[in-house]
Amino acid sequence: MGLDAYVVCRCWEEGRSSAPPIEVRRGAEGIEPAGPDLPPETLLAFDRWKASACEHGDMDIASARIGNWPGVRTFQDALAHLDPGTYGTLAGVMPRANGGTVSPALAAACLRALDRFALEGPVLEQFVLLDAATGGIVNRAVARYGGVFHHNGRDHVRAGIDRDSGFFIDTDDGVRVFEATRFGQRVNPSDPAPREVTLVSDRGHRYVGTVSFALEDIGGERCYPSTLRTGVRSLDAAHFAPIVDGLRTVFRAAVEIDRPVHWA
């Protein structure tokens, strides 16, 4: 799950699309059937028409994947640490959930902010969980989620990193059951899931459950570090290039054809 964005073209309104199989109208999210409660076969015919009705796929003159929600939230954290006079508009239009629009006028202001953002140096410090042996990043804290990066429904706990405690595990009721800046992890990858995991801090505090942490797949195998530690990394503007590029794509299109950006 994550955030996408698109800008609807003008082809239908300007008579440059093929004829629709049913009566259509411009709705809040683009071209849509004009009638309510249509049967599934009629809606399918509409979808097929819309997919190839003009030169733009699905009648979107521009579309872009902005990012997954942790990445978008981290981008929002970075904007919040910068000059609000320069980045306030951009920060204000970034959504909290899917849905909503950005006007062409605001899109133009956001393009100027993105041009400035690309010139920034370090923009944010992020807490990370590292493999103590290799320094490889295992997880990244998301400040807007209270530092939480992992939810475990089986154990009913959430794990994350904050400035005061380092790595922590809290129950869903908010009770802290483990914290450490450096800890061991004992897990047998060959055990059937859910695997029992034991975490042991340098101070001897222990947590036993199914919360485990692994590096990304290496040769198809999960790599479970035996020792993990918390750290801080500095993020510069280049780190957010995929998000910035996606935003530029849709904001530019909105300005060029005077149509809003839709968040999806």
Position 246 scores a pLDDT of 98
Task: Name the pLDDT band for 217 (thresholds 50, 70, 90).
Answer: low
pLDDT, position 220: 63
Report the pLDDT value the prediction gives residue 219, as an integer from 0 to 100. 63
Cβ atoms of 44 and 86 within 8 Å: the answer is: no
What confidence tier does 264 reach under pLDDT thresholds 50, 70, 90? very high
- Mean pLDDT, rounded, of the chain: 94
- Residues 159-195 have pLDDT tens digits of 999 999 999 999 999 999 999 999 999 988 778 777 8
- What are phi and psi for residue 196, nearest 5 degrees? -75, 130
Whether the Cβ atoms of residue 252 and residue 111 lie closer than 8 Å to each other:
yes
Range 62-85 average pLDDT: 97
* 232-to-21, 137, 141, 167, 205 alpha-carbon distances in Å: 57, 10, 10, 12, 23
pLDDT in tens, 36-69: 989 999 999 999 999 999 999 899 999 999 999 9
